[in-house]
A = this chain, B = another copy of it.
Amino acid sequence: MSIIEVIKKRRSIRKFLKKDVPKDLVLKVLDAARWAPSSKNSQPWEFIIIRDEETKGKLAKLARYGWFIADAPVVIAVVTDPQKSYAHLIDGACAVQNLMLAAWELGLGTCWIGTMDREEAKKILGVPESLHLLTVIPLGYPEKIPIPPSRKALEDIVYYENYGRKNL
């Protein structure tokens, strides 16, 4: 699959098969994450691979729309360091986008979990106070591929030379 195909076909996955994800695949996905660009090459990211059922269950309860975390074979917590990069949210997001695309190419689904009680989750995972828990990403084989959510048309979000200018 070309990268543009992967980008277009990737879906957020919330239901996973009860099938293990081998460690080497998880590491491949994280290897892709670390090749993201970052402000001054600061690489302000770290990852925790979580398989423990109890931990996944606790995280699921802390994530507002993330009940399905508990059922994923693997959850990856992404930690960023505000001291290493003023743009740690952006750098981290680029790394996670790499992670999600690489996962899709390997037949694995993911979903960005945004809303959660981060401070509680950090305590569960032993993340130091000074670090930011960017997201926890469930990772597993999709039970099925959902239909794509709608996207705004390209012509509605692209301007030329100046904001709002729709043609040249």
Contact = CB atoms under 8 A, between A and B. Distances in A.
A22 interface: no
Interface string A26-70: 011011101111010101011111111001000000000000000
Q: Which of A4, A100, A150 is most buried by chain B, counting CB atoms within 10 A of its CB?
A: A4
Contacts of A1: 2-3
B48 A163 contact: yes
A158 interface: yes
Copies in the assembly, this chain:
2
A93 B102 CA distance: 17
Task: Classify chain A's interface size.
Answer: 35 or more
Contacts of A150: 41
Given A7-B32, A46-B157, 4 more contacts: A7-B102, A34-B157, A52-B161, A90-B90
Please give me the 8 A-B residue pairs with the lowest Cβ-Cβ distance, nearest first.
A93-B93, A97-B97, A90-B93, A94-B97, A126-B163, A126-B162, A127-B163, A3-B105
28 contacts: A1-B2, A3-B102, A3-B104, A4-B31, A4-B102, A8-B32, A27-B158, A30-B154, A30-B157, A37-B112, A39-B114, A43-B157, A46-B159, A48-B160, A48-B161, A49-B158, A50-B161, A52-B161, A89-B93, A90-B93, A93-B97, A94-B96, A94-B112, A97-B98, A101-B101, A125-B163, A126-B162, A131-B163
Interface of A: 1-4, 6-8, 10, 12, 27-28, 30-32, 34-37, 39, 41, 43, 45-52, 55, 79, 87, 89-94, 96-98, 100-102, 104-105, 112, 114, 125-128, 131, 134, 149-152, 154, 157-165
